[in-house]
Amino acid sequence: MADPQRELLLDDRMVERVLARMAREIVEQVGELDQLLLIGIHRRGVDLARWLSEEIGRAEGTAIPTGSLDITLYRDDLMAIGPRPIVGDTRLPTHGIDGKTVVIVDDVLYTGRTVRAALDELADFGRPRRILLCVLVDRGGRELPIHADIIGKSFTVAGDDRIEVLVSGIDGRSGVELVKGAKR
């Protein structure tokens, strides 16, 4: 990275290894793969969920349905932030989420407010038997009592630094970078 403000934390090969390990952990923790759904949080979580689904599919020989969740309309700070962000797609598997084991997939776990919003939104779609949280990076700094069940990597990051996860589907390459001094 030419930019001195950015520091590479994980390169593309490391991201792949970490995701492969996370896929194995999901299989271990869930057991019944026929009840499993991977729901990615818009935007980068969606790509990660697809990646994990393909990885589990390859290893276990069974296709794992994926979905996407945009939590914008469930945020708790919308009234404070000014003009509305454009809302992304929410697409859940056609047979719904009732009785399923839902793994929420996101790129970075920070304050926990996104996950809180995602849990509220999922509750409006049905009643999963169990919900797990799977994140590529846990950067600490929780403001709510929320924890992840499957974590790729944990980093301790200063409050005004930002973790950026890059995925090939959106950014053209994959990796995890630290952006120093960026407002969160």
Partner 1 sequence: MTSRAAAYLGKDLLGLDELTREQILAILDTAEPFKEISERPIKKVPVLRGKTIVNAFFENSTRTRISFEFAEKRLSADTVNFAAGGSSVSKGETLVDTARNLEAMRIDMVVIRHPSSGAARFLGQRIASNVVNAGDGKHEHPTQALLDMLTIRDHLGRLDGVRVCIVGDILHSRVARSNIWGLLKVGAEVGVCGPATLLPPEVRELGVTVFQRIEEAIEWADALNILRLQLERMQGGFVPSLREYNRIFGVTQARLESAPRDLLILHPGPMNRGVEIDSAVADGPHSVILEQVTNGVAVRMAVLYLLAGGEPEKAEAAKGGHP
Q: How far is the CB of 107 from partner 1 (least distance, A)?
A: 8
Closer residue to partner 1, CB minimum distance, 52 or 122: 122
Q: How far is the CB of 151 from partner 1 (least distance, A)?
A: 15
15 is written with which tokens?
Answer: 């991201």
> How far apart are alpha carbons 136 and 95 in whole angstroms?
27
> How far apart are alpha carbons 93 and 96 in whole angstroms?
6
Binding site for partner 1 (CB under 8 A): 70, 72-75, 77-91, 96, 108-111, 113-114, 120-121, 124-126, 139, 162-163, 182-184
Closer residue to partner 1, CB minimum distance, 56 or 133: 133
According to DSSP, the residues that pair with 133 across neighbouring strands are: 104
Q: How far is the CB of 87 from partner 1 (least distance, A)?
A: 4
45 burial type by CB count under 10 A (0-12 exposed, 13-18 middle, 19+ buried):
buried
Q: How far is the CB of 108 from partner 1 (least distance, A)?
A: 5
Closer residue to partner 1, CB minimum distance, 35 or 111: 111
Closer residue to partner 1, CB minimum distance, 31 or 83: 83
